[in-house]
Amino acid sequence: MYYLYKKSVEDGRVTYRRVQEVPLFGSNNGLIPLWLRRQLSPDQTQPMGWKIRVPEALEAFGLAGDAIVIDMAPKRRTEPKLLLFELVNVWGYSARGQTPLLFHLRGLLVDQPSMAFEKETFSAVEDRRRNDVVSFAQLEGTIQEGKLVGSWSAGSSGPTNSALLWPHTYSYFRRILETEVPGFRPG
């Protein structure tokens, strides 16, 4: 589940207040396609990599200082722990009619007891180094001549719907991980 949260900072603590659920995918109303359309030019076509800086994208829509928060375990029944992450960046590599995505996430409430926090309003200590992780997804759709083509929706959920990383796609994401995501540089 994906949500827009209002953020406020006071004395080094960030308070997050849920505003509404938001769609990330889908060519008609998904935030990722909406943000991506604004940065494309007519000469851009697959195969190509791209990046969305989420705070800047939100600011462009009058939502400066807000955040997109992903609830990675919205219906977790066993071990009722929270997994809330802020979406920091999204990279995509559009090719072959599909777009694998790399999400750069920052942990807000990770493995915290669900009884100790409310998902609608919570506070976290501001720390840019904490819990940076990545996640992958795959969308049906690509870019042709500066336009989004296809549904830009995630496939149906199931055990075999992971992102397919062809060699060029893997190389693109590896370069991103090594240069732009804290904690993923080669040792």
For residue 95, being part of any structural domain is answered with: yes
pLDDT, residue 77, reads 57
Which residue, 2, 98, 90, 88, is CA-closest to 39? Answer: 90
| Residue 105 β-bridge partners | 87, 133
Distance in angstroms (rounded) separating the CA atoms of residues 83 and 90: 19
For residue 64, being part of any structural domain is answered with: yes
Per-residue confidence band for 106, with pLDDT thresholds at 50, 70 and 90:
very high
Provide the number of structural domains found in the chain: 1
For residue 186, being part of any structural domain is answered with: no
Which residue, 63, 67, 71, is CA-closest to 89? Answer: 67
For residue 187, being part of any structural domain is answered with: no
- Is 115's pLDDT higher than 90? no
- Is 130's pLDDT higher than 90? no
Mean pLDDT of 104-133: 81
- Is 127's pLDDT higher than 80? no
Residue range 31-84, pLDDT digits in tens: 999 999 999 999 999 999 999 999 999 999 999 999 999 998 877 656 678 889
Q: Please state the three-class secondary structure of the chain as a single string.
A: CEEEEEEEEECCEEEEEEEEECCCCCCCCCHHHHHHHHHCCCCCCCCEEEEEEHHHHHHHCCCCCCEEEEECCCCCCCCCEEEEEEEEEEEEEEECCEEEEEEEEEEEEEEEEHHHCCCCEEEEECCCCCCEEEEEEEEEEEEECCEEEEEEEECCCCCCCCCCCCHHHHHHHHHHHHHHCCCCCCC
For residue 63, being part of any structural domain is answered with: yes
Residue range 136-179, pLDDT digits in tens: 999 999 999 999 999 999 876 655 567 888 898 999 999 999 99
Distance in angstroms (rounded) separating the CA atoms of residues 184 and 187: 9
pTM score of the predicted model: 0.89
Q: Which domain holds residue 56?
A: 2-180
pLDDT, residue 126, reads 64
Distance in angstroms (rounded) separating the CA atoms of residues 86 and 131: 10
For residue 147, being part of any structural domain is answered with: yes
